[in-house]
Amino acid sequence: MSAIDVEIQLIAVAVAVSCALPGVFLVLRRMALMSDAISHTVLLGIVLAFFVTGDITSPFLILAAAATGILTVALVEAVHSTRLVKQDAAIGLVFPALFSIAVILISRYAGDVHLDTDAVLLGELAFAPFRRLEVAGVDVGPRALYVMGSVLLLNIAFILTFYKELKLSTFDAALAASLGFSPVVLHYVFMGLVSVTAVGAFDAVGSILVVALMIVPPAAAYLLTDKLRWMIALSALLGATAAIAGYWVAWLADASIAGSIASVAGAQFLLAFLLAPERGVVAQAVHRSRQRVEFAQLMLAIHLLNHEGTPEADRESREAELHEHLRWRPDFVKRIVRQAERGELIERDGGGRLLLTPAGREAARSAIAT
Amino acid sequence: MQDAGRLLHDLFFDYTLRTVALGAMALGTVSGTLGAFAVLRKQSLLGDAISHAALPGIVLAFMLTGAKDPLILVLGAAIAGWIGTLMVMWIVRQSRLPEDSALGIVLSVFFGIGLVLLTYVQREPTAAQAGLNTFLFGQAATLVVEDVLVIAGLGSIALALVALFWKEFKLLSFDREFGGSLGIGMRRVDVLLTSILVVAIVIGLQTVGVVLMSAMVVAPAAAARQWTDSLGVMVVLSAAFGALSGVTGAVASSTTTGIPTGPTIVLAVTLVVVVSLALAPRRGLVWEWIRHRRNQRQVRTGAILTDLYALASQHADRAHGHPVAVLEAMGAKRGGVRRTLDVLQAQGLAKQEADDSWSLTVEGARAARAVIARHEGGDE
């Protein structure tokens, strides 16, 4: 592994964790798509600031970008508050408009500078290590690593400092307001942080990967745990592993790094979605089928109890005829009978009839009683 | 003026421009129509997910066939977009994730997969691969007659289906339960309408681009919604807005070098939205503001009238003037007393005495009594 490989992976991990941290709250606050909006509109801030300063590396660009991010949030809320359009439509109106202005400005007036719309959208992590940071003429490492490292520290500091406030305003905004926090101020500061993260990250990885890393790992973590702390930790872990695994997938397949990281994050999500304990699709299906089998055993026991000691008991308790009485498929009858026998709810007499055991009788009685 | 005449001439007789304009008009009509339903059903951002999800389909279709046949690319886009939509629905149904997260996941992951595939295509220096890049931001100038035929053909099918299932789609948008109780399989209607939406989106991708196509779904419909409460009128208006901004944007970008089409069309349609939000009758923000101002003025004149009346009733001489300062003090912090007094004087209800003091005229006193009576009536 060369130094450049290591540097790219470090940058990727810093981006992934920086995005996952605020992403947790975006997902929980049902604002996931604001990340999509912001990661596009920050471009307008960058372009405008670039026209003013004429310097693509000016830190002023990051400030301007963060300001456009907040402007996006404010505009969406302003449009929504007219009550003329719904929230989702407001997002869908505001961000394409701002992004379009940015793209037109770039293609019209900045065609030959380092502001390529394709690169903005797609990102090319492989080039990140070539933009170095020099302090007093000494190369101290890739610029993106310092930018993202600072963003990461900022995010960690913010979440540690305002953890309680964030948690409260996420899960119970009304209570937060009544306790004297201002959810609105916190909200805008938080969205400012999302914007700073987006602009820092999309320079390195492109806006779509920003969306992927802000939403996908937290969404997967949300399916794996109920605790906010764990969700944050898991999101960071999933993001970091997706970054490293994605890098190597890209290396093996000789493909876009940003795209590979997004794909690996998608695969992680799919696994969590299918296999999460309790909440996963598989776990739920198993749970449902187990319930169905248990319910069917009880039905069988109740059926036998109903006819116990009656003249037709002989006919009603023959395994071969049960499917007609209970209207089940014969193979399902066979399966349920076997299960019930194993659970010692029923037993067979010699003549192919099923008899309730004392435990089975008790189970049927209590099921009827409830 | 000559330029405009020239443009109009070219629009009809210049091959490229005519092709571009027709294509943009067709896609604007179709996305406007389907967008009306999407916006009403709060699915505005589904379009964003569908258009991004289409990318791997486009690239894969190109890789498998090796040809840039528009019908095949659109087909690939439609299949991928459709799978993406089903994934969104599946995630929402099977997990506790909110819909916006599901949309974000599908959008970004599908797009990421598309990027991975795109790197393979870009490595092959075939002439056709250049066309694939236009799918990001759209390039109307690359439209050829074949593309327009595909847009128009698929678009017509989509519109015909909307007309055919008009009643069902209306029920789905406004009262799904009622539709279900009529014995209509609403789930199937839902899948049908969403599938047509997918088609409406993918036929616009080459012109508008993956990134901004969602605006063509949301914006015309959001603008049309302001002008009417009837679904039929809204759909027609939305289609017209879509077509208009499609043509405007596509023509503007293909006659100016270096401007991608998607952003130009989006700005055109955004302008329509802004005008609609501001000026649409009844709902428009400007009318709302004027109504508000008029109400405020009425409240202010009523208040000054009753204040003056109260002062006068404490005086033996009704014509005795009262200074502005007293009126200002009575109407705690209410500004514009002097302006309101001028209005009252112009209406002949108040009269300015010497040394800047004011009294009610006979009509003024009558008007004040009417205001008081109305207030007391309202209190009961």
CATH of the domain at A321: 1.10.10.10
Q: How many domains, chain B?
A: 2
Mean pLDDT of B257-268: 85
Place of tokens 């128009």: B152
> In the structure encoding, which two tokens stand for residue B113, read together?
């997969």
How far apart (Å, rounded) are the C-alpha atoms in residues B19 and B143?
7
Residue B113 clears pLDDT 60, i.e. is over it: yes
How far apart (Å, rounded) are the C-alpha atoms in residues B104 and B114?
15
Q: Which of B111, B253, B271 to mutate to test the interface with A (most CBs of A within 10 A)?
A: B111
Mind listing the pLDDT tens digit for each residue in B41-90?
988 899 999 999 999 999 899 888 877 788 888 999 999 999 999 999 99
Between B377 and A178, residue with greater pLDDT: A178
Show the DSSP H helices in chain B as ranges.
Answer: 2-13, 15-40, 46-65, 70-94, 99-123, 129-137, 145-164, 166-174, 176-181, 186-202, 205-208, 213-227, 231-255, 261-279, 285-313, 324-330, 337-346, 362-379
Last residue of one domain, picked from the residues B263, B279, B295: B279
In a shared domain, residues B323 and B263 = no
In a shared domain, residues B188 and B315 = no
Mean pLDDT of A140-167: 90
Query: E strand or H helix at B322, and its extent?
Result: strand B322-323
Q: What percent of chain B has pLDDT over 90?
A: 41
A341: containing domain: 282-369
Single out the residue of A138, A126, A122, A142 nearest to residue A57, CA to CA. A142
Quote the minimal CA–CA distance from B261 to chain A in Å.
9
Mind listing the pLDDT tens digit for each residue in A14-30?
999 999 999 999 999 98
Q: Which value, to the nearest 10 degrees, does the dihedral of the CA atoms of residues B137, B138, B142, B146 take? A: 150
Is A258 an interface residue toward B (CB < 8 Å)? yes
Could you give the angle at which helices B46-65 and B129-137 cross, rounded to 10 degrees? 180
Q: Are strands A346-348 and A354-356 parallel, antiparallel or unpaired?
A: antiparallel
The pLDDT of residue B129 is 52
Last residue of one domain, picked from the residues B228, B262, B279: B279
How far apart (Å, rounded) are the C-alpha atoms in residues B246 and A359?
75
Mean pLDDT of B140-149: 84
Quick check: A176 and A94 in contact, CB under 8 A? Answer: no
The verdict on a CB contact (< 8 Å) between A32 and B258 is: no
B257: containing domain: 2-279
How far apart (Å, rounded) are the C-alpha atoms in residues A91 and B373?
48
In a shared domain, residues A22 and A91 = yes
How far apart (Å, rounded) are the C-alpha atoms in residues A206 and A123?
4
Q: What percent of chain A has pLDDT over 70?
A: 96
CATH of the domain at B374: 1.10.10.10
Place of tokens 């969205």: A191
Quote the minimal CA–CA distance from B80 to chain A in Å.
15
The pLDDT of residue B283 is 83
In a shared domain, residues A238 and A293 = no
Could you give the angle at which helices A358-369 and A281-307 cross, rounded to 10 degrees? 100
The pLDDT of residue B2 is 57
Last residue of one domain, picked from the residues A231, A253, A279: A279
Between A309 and A329, residue with greater pLDDT: A329
Residue A136 clears pLDDT 80, i.e. is over it: no
In a shared domain, residues A273 and A288 = no
What integer best gives the mean pLDDT of chain A? 86
Close Cβ partners of A279 (under 8 Å, ≥ 6 residues apart):
A223, A224, B95, B96
In a shared domain, residues B267 and B128 = yes
Residue A193 clears pLDDT 80, i.e. is over it: yes
In a shared domain, residues B265 and B336 = no
Nearest residue on chain A to B104, judged by CA atoms?
A: A33
Would you tell me which residues 15-54 of chain B have a C-beta closer than 8 angstroms to some C-beta of chain A?
39, 42-45, 47-48, 52
In a shared domain, residues A87 and A151 = yes
How far apart (Å, rounded) are the C-alpha atoms in residues A345 and A323?
18
In a shared domain, residues A300 and A346 = yes
Would you tell me which residues 299-358 of chain A have a C-beta closer than 8 angstroms to some C-beta of chain B?
none
How far apart (Å, rounded) are the C-alpha atoms in residues B123 and B271?
40
In a shared domain, residues B96 and B169 = yes
Last residue of one domain, picked from the residues A244, A279, A314: A279
In a shared domain, residues B146 and B32 = yes
- For chain A, the three-class secondary structure string (H helix, E strand, C coil) is CCHHHHHHHHHHHHHHHHHHHHHHHHHHCCCHHHHHHHHHHHHHHHHHHHHHHCCCCCCHHHHHHHHHHHHHHHHHHHHHHCCCCCHHHHHHHHHHHHHHHHHHHHHHHCCCCCCCHHHHHHCCHHHHHHCEEEECCEEEEEHHHHHHHHHHHHHHHHHHHCHHHHHHHHHCHHHHHHCCCCHHHHHHHHHHHHHHHHHHHHHHHCHHHHHHHHHHHHHHHHHHCCCHHHHHHHHHHHHHHHHHHHHHHHHHHCCCHHHHHHHHHHHHHHHHHHHCCCCCHHHHHHHHHHHHHHHHHHHHHHHHHHHCCCCCHHHHCEHHHHHHHHCCCHHHHHHHHHHHHHCCCEEECCCCEEEECHHHHHHHHHHHHC
In a shared domain, residues B105 and B190 = yes
Last residue of one domain, picked from the residues A279, A298, A329: A279
Last residue of one domain, picked from the residues B279, B304, B328: B279
Would you tell me which residues 100-159 of chain B have a C-beta closer than 8 angstroms to some C-beta of chain A?
100-105, 107-120, 133, 136-137
Which range, A196-210, B259-273, B344-358, is most confident?
A: B259-273
Mind listing the pLDDT tens digit for each residue in B361-370?
888 888 888 8
In a shared domain, residues A265 and A332 = no
In a shared domain, residues A224 and A305 = no
In a shared domain, residues A173 and A37 = yes
In a shared domain, residues A261 and A312 = no
Q: How many domains, chain A?
A: 2
How far apart (Å, rounded) are the C-alpha atoms in residues A145 and A131?
10
Q: Which of B31, B42, B88, B109 to mutate to test the interface with A (most CBs of A within 10 A)?
A: B109
How far apart (Å, rounded) are the C-alpha atoms in residues B45 and B47?
5
- Number of residues written out for chain B: 380
In a shared domain, residues B305 and B273 = no
- Number of residues written out for chain A: 370
In a shared domain, residues A58 and A182 = yes
The pLDDT of residue B127 is 44
In a shared domain, residues A141 and A112 = yes
The pLDDT of residue A149 is 92
How far apart (Å, rounded) are the C-alpha atoms in residues B345 and B351?
6
Complex ipTM, two decimals?
A: 0.86
Place of tokens 């995005």: A19
In a shared domain, residues A264 and A296 = no
In a shared domain, residues B104 and B41 = yes
In a shared domain, residues B111 and B246 = yes
> In the structure encoding, which two tokens stand for residue B89, read together?
């629905």
In a shared domain, residues B167 and B292 = no
Between B298 and A183, residue with greater pLDDT: B298
Can you give the pTM of this predicted structure? 0.84
Q: Which of B40, B59, B97, B173 to mutate to test the interface with A (most CBs of A within 10 A)?
A: B97
Q: Using a CB-CB distance cutoff of 8 angstroms, which residues of chain A are in contact with residue B97?
A: 27, 219, 222-223
Between A97 and B341, residue with greater pLDDT: A97
Would you tell me which residues 306-365 of chain B have a C-beta closer than 8 angstroms to some C-beta of chain A?
none
CATH of the domain at B117: 1.10.3470.10
Task: Find the distance separating the first CA and the last CA of chain B, reported in whole Å.
Answer: 65
The verdict on a CB contact (< 8 Å) between A255 and B39 is: no
In a shared domain, residues B264 and B292 = no
Is A154 an interface residue toward B (CB < 8 Å)? no
> In the structure encoding, which two tokens stand for residue B107, read together?
């959008």
CATH of the domain at A151: 1.10.3470.10
> In the structure encoding, which two tokens stand for residue A257, read together?
């790094």
